[in-house]
Amino acid sequence: RAAFAIGFLILFVFIGIYSYVNFVLVRAPFDVGMMMLGMVYFVFLPSIVTTPLAGRVVARLGTRPSLWLAFAVAAAGLPMLLGSNLDLLLVGLALFGVGTFFAQATATGFVGRAATADRGSASGLYLTSYYLGGLIGTAILGQVFDHLGWTACVIAVGVALAAGMLLTLRLTIQPASADQMPGLMQPSSKTA
């Protein structure tokens, strides 16, 4: 269940930043035009490079430290989103993207490993939670942005990232029963 909540929070924060940063970018001091606004999404390029590394990092560090690292990288980008320097804001968006993409890959992999039976259902529940987080993130963080502004939206995202970090403490992999893994003896529960 903690993995589903983490998935919820990953798209919640992702949508909260990338949906509403556009409104910030088209206003002063940035005044980014529509054509350039589309180019802003090149900040996802580092994520394309780093996301495939998630499996190796998890194999080396474990799920929990990998998620902490991912959330920390995403959080490191948040203060950069609050200034008036476009280059710094783009670096912040890139860091945030790297962190959230990496967290998504890590959490998805965890669900696949943690499900001892009916992996398809576990994956489906994870994806449902993930997309529900995006839907609710759009609604809630949109209201925060409309009524309290960009800074409050970024702070709310930071709080959600912190909640994700705390939820990692609840991630465990239960041992498979003997009938699920014939011939293998499993120790008691293993932490992520």
User: Residues 7, 133: contact at Cβ < 8 Å?
Assistant: yes
Radius of gyration of the chain (CA): 18
Q: Which residue has the tokens 């940035």?
A: 30
What does the block give as tokens for 36?
Answer: 């350039």
What superfamily in CATH does domain 2-191 come from? MFS general substrate transporter like domains (1.20.1250.20)
| pLDDT for residue 172 is more than 90 | no
| pLDDT for residue 57 is more than 50 | yes
Computed over every residue of the chain, the mean pLDDT equals 89
Phi and psi of 172, rounded to 5°? -140, 155
Where are the domains positioned within the chain?
A: 2-191
Task: Indicate the pLDDT class of residue 118, thresholds 50, 70 and 90.
Answer: confident
Could you give the 3-state DSSP secondary structure of residue 115? Answer: coil
What is the pLDDT, as a whole number, of residue 174?
Answer: 61
For the chain, counts of helices (H) and of strands (E): 8, 2
Task: Indicate the pLDDT class of residue 175, thresholds 50, 70 and 90.
Answer: low
Q: Which residue has the tokens 């942005």?
A: 145
Q: Which amino acid is at 5?
A: A
| pLDDT for residue 179 is more than 60 | no
Q: What is the pTM of this model?
A: 0.88
What is the pLDDT, as a whole number, of residue 181?
Answer: 39
Q: Which amino acid is at 77?
A: G
